[in-house]
A and B are shown apart, each in its own frame.
Chain A
Amino acid sequence: MFFERFMENIMILEYIDSRGAPWRAPIKIMKKKLRILIGKPGLDGHDRGAKIIARTLRDAGYEVIYSGLHQTPEMIVNTAIQEDVDAIGLSILSGAHNFLFPEVIRLLKEKGIGDVVVFGGGIIPPDEISGLKKQGVAEVFTPGADTRDIVKWIEGNVKPRM
């Protein structure tokens, strides 16, 4: 007896019954809700964007955990482990992005959950985005980003972790 993945949310169950006849049955599976941590690392208190994104993702049907303000990278990674999240969205408006993004990614790898997708946004100069991506940030959204584009990006780039 084995399962074969057919479509995103349909699996095919194949088995041979006691008389040796093969059976195939499609089974609809419940899609696991993505769990996303919206994190505010660093000391800045600008949480308008983080709150908008948290609400948008909740309305889009995801399980959202919002860290609240003034988190250290260690606190964010600990929350990610406890909450078993699939992705982390970091909001940084203090200019400390070049330290905080890589630090969170380094700690995720150190804790053995380097497969958690890290994306983010904030006041980030355009010419610094490629450097952040090279260090493992999957995507960076800047002021004026449409929340529908962010949801679309998550649908295409974040998968439930096994």
Chain B
Amino acid sequence: MVSRKKNNNSKRKKWEKETLKPFLKKSSERLSEFTTLSSEPIERLYTPEHLKKFSYRTDLGFPGEFPLTRGVYPSMHRGRLWTMRQFAGFGTAHDTNQRFHYLLKEGQTGLSTAFHFPTLMGYDSDSPRSRGEVGVCGVAIDSLADMETLFNGIPLDKVTVSMTINGPASILLAFFLVCAEKQNVPWTKVGGTIQNDVLKEYIAQNSYLVPPEPAMKIVVDMIEFCSKQVPKWNPVSISGYHIREAGSTAVQELAFTLADGVAYVQACIERGMKVDDFAPRLSFFFNAHMDLFEEVAKYRAARRLWARLMKTRFKAKKPESWKCRFHVQTAGCSLTAQQPENNIIRTTLQALGAVLGGCQSLHTNSMDETFALPTEKSVRIALRTQQVIAYESGVTNTIDPLGGSYFVEALTSKMEKEALDYIRKIDRMGGMIPAIRNGYPQMEIANASHRYQNQVERSVKIIVGVNDFVLENEPPIEILKIDSAAIEERQRQSLKELKSVRNVELVQKSLDALRQAALNDQNIMPALLDSARAYATVGEMADVLRKVYGEYHDPGIY
């Protein structure tokens, strides 16, 4: 073995001296340094020499088995394709319900709900803070009544639903579960995911309700509640997507996401839960950016590192607890306002990376999203992109097709190592919450984002249509128009009507019970469910939580 390695080494040196050098003398390389999108240096050629410490058995293994590098299921996309799940939401619950029916008719296989900013921040549509925002960037949901309209005609025991909400996630989960109740669907049969990853809110996405410590307590309440009563539900989707969108590198996305995961597992264990009782329901959500191989290596490293952390650090015994199952969304921040049709091509490459990386579900962005919410046509193209990859490209025929590539394996190992270094650094700070309080991940991301912007402006990184191949006088494209003033008026009107017909006494009683549960440090889910049943609003419940736990303000680090 040793002699063969030596042999490889000397053969490479011979190639460099006799073949490469004379060639480079005549014709030099295009760049002095080649790097990934995240500025990781990439070598000219990868050979077995890069995989000296690599072992097939311990570093790759087989799909569905530890360390899960090749995939979380034994048959991966040969058995079941990923769920094609387009994120949608705008206007009133009625408007979005129609879009949901349209997407299901076009062959989408799961739903994903985008809420408007007032709901994401725990305000009702009639709050002064909601002016100008109602139904604009997502669907307006103020109470259970809106949720019932949103899922009208959609059987919640057949279609899995994802909900992107974090700070007030517990309130929206309560609405959803009562909605299932009203459809006579038992909670044991509803499947889906609620994002509920509050830690990354303080790091990157910034939609929070209360400070990190009580927010963490509420997340643990939800994990605890779901592990007992809603067994097919993913009560948290630990998200790197927003960290990357905020400007992080691929390694930072990987590291901070898994470090958040470590924090949730630790908090659940501290509550007294057994790791194998809740870990199988933890799910993840990653970004798919432009650099194809870096992204594929990132997903593979995520699976391997999570499996190792769960097995060695948390002593999880069930193989299901080791599995990093993840949703992917293509990178919104990579889309350009210039020549927007090019975004279709960007999204295609990104989606390909997600599929090659073994995703469980996928959202593809639409070409017009640098201007507004997408039109029906552009959403259809985005969905068709997934369908072309799934049914025409052939990349789903075999499991982990890039496994064994010298380059991809070397990159996977390097990213795993660098991510683990970050996680250890955060451990030394006392965990993710103290790190956030120090502004550590926020500053790392701001620095990376600033560096990238500089590289684009100095044309170190080329973006087609932006800093090269620019088109003068671009023709305009069709953009979705939303009559926000009319939606705001309609939503306020229906909220007013709801408040006039509901049982005020019951609402008050349920909110008092919620306050007591929060003050007495009980699990707040049962009280939230009663408040939802009484048609208490998002704002009313969020106000109770804000009063008990306090508010959080952005430190504005740049």
Contacts and interface: CB of A to CB of B under 8 A. Distances in A.
Interface stretch (A24-32, A49-57, A110-118): A49-57
B245 interface: yes
Contacts of B446: 51, 55
B118 interface: yes
Contacts of B371: 123-126
Given A144-B466, A146-B457, A147-B457, A95 B372 contact: yes
Interface string B457-497: 10000010011000000001001001010000000000000
Interface SS majority for chain B: loop
A135 interface: no
B133 A69 contact: no
Interface residues of B, number: 48
Given A55-B450, A68-B556, A99 B131 contact: yes
Nearest to B558: A51
Nearest to A51: B558
A145 to B, nearest CB: 9
Contacts of A50: 558
A54 B457 CA distance: 16
Nearest to B333: A48
Select the residue from B137, B476, B553 with max chain A CB neighbours within 10 A.
B137
Contacts of B476: 126-127
Nearest to B456: A146
Interface in B202-231: 205-207
A72 to B, nearest CB: 7
Contacts of A67: 556
A54 B446 CA distance: 11
A29 to B, nearest CB: 31
Contact of B457 (A48, A98, A99, A148): A148
Contact of B479 (A96, A98, A127): A127
Contacts of B129: 43, 72
A156 interface: no
B482 A123 contact: no
A53 to B, nearest CB: 9
Contacts of A33: none
Interface string B311-338: 0000000000000000000000101111
Contacts of A123: 369-372
B175 interface: no
Given A43-B117, A43-B130, A95-B372, A51 B337 contact: no
A47 B336 contact: no
Contacts of A44: 117, 137
Interface centre among B121, B128, B450, B556 (most CB of A within 10 A): B556
B554 interface: yes
B245 A95 contact: no
A161 interface: no
B299 interface: no
B87 to A, nearest CB: 15
A69 B206 contact: yes
A43 to B, nearest CB: 4
A109 interface: no
Contacts of A46: 206, 245
B56 to A, nearest CB: 40
B342 to A, nearest CB: 12
A45 B205 CA distance: 6
Nearest to A96: B132
A43 B449 contact: no
A94 B336 CA distance: 17
B41 interface: no
A5 interface: no
Contact of B338 (A47, A95, A144): A144
Which of A98, A125, A148 has the largest number of chain B CB atoms within 10 A? A125
Contacts of B121: 43, 70
A161 B247 CA distance: 35
A101 B482 CA distance: 18
Contacts of A43: 117-118, 120-121, 123, 129-130, 133, 207
Contacts of B466: 144
B373 interface: yes
A98 B484 contact: yes
B136 interface: yes
Contacts of B201: 45
A28 to B, nearest CB: 32
Contact of A95 (B120, B130, B137, B449): B137
Contacts of A142: 337, 370
A69 B556 contact: yes
Nearest to A65: B556
Nearest to B457: A146
Contacts of A95: 133, 136-137, 372-373, 482, 484
A85 to B, nearest CB: 16
Given A51-B446, A54-B558, A144 B336 contact: yes
A22 interface: no
A143 B246 contact: no
Most chain B beta-carbon contacts within 10 A, residue among A48, A94, A142: A48
A52 B556 contact: no
A122 B231 CA distance: 41
A62 interface: no
A16 B367 CA distance: 70
A71 to B, nearest CB: 9
Nearest to A38: B558
Contacts of B370: 123, 142-144
Contacts of B117: 42-44, 94, 96
Nearest to B488: A99
Contacts of A124: 371
A100 interface: yes
B555 interface: yes
27 contacts: A43-B117, A43-B121, A44-B137, A45-B201, A45-B205, A45-B206, A47-B554, A48-B245, A48-B247, A51-B450, A54-B558, A66-B556, A68-B553, A68-B555, A69-B206, A69-B554, A69-B556, A72-B128, A72-B129, A95-B137, A95-B373, A124-B371, A142-B370, A143-B336, A144-B337, A144-B463, A146-B467
Given A44-B137, A48-B245, 18 more contacts: A43-B120, A43-B123, A43-B129, A47-B246, A47-B554, A50-B558, A51-B558, A69-B206, A94-B117, A96-B137, A100-B132, A103-B132, A123-B372, A126-B476, A127-B479, A142-B337, A144-B370, A148-B457
Top 6 A-B pairs, shortest CB-CB distance: A99-B132, A45-B206, A68-B556, A96-B132, A43-B117, A95-B136
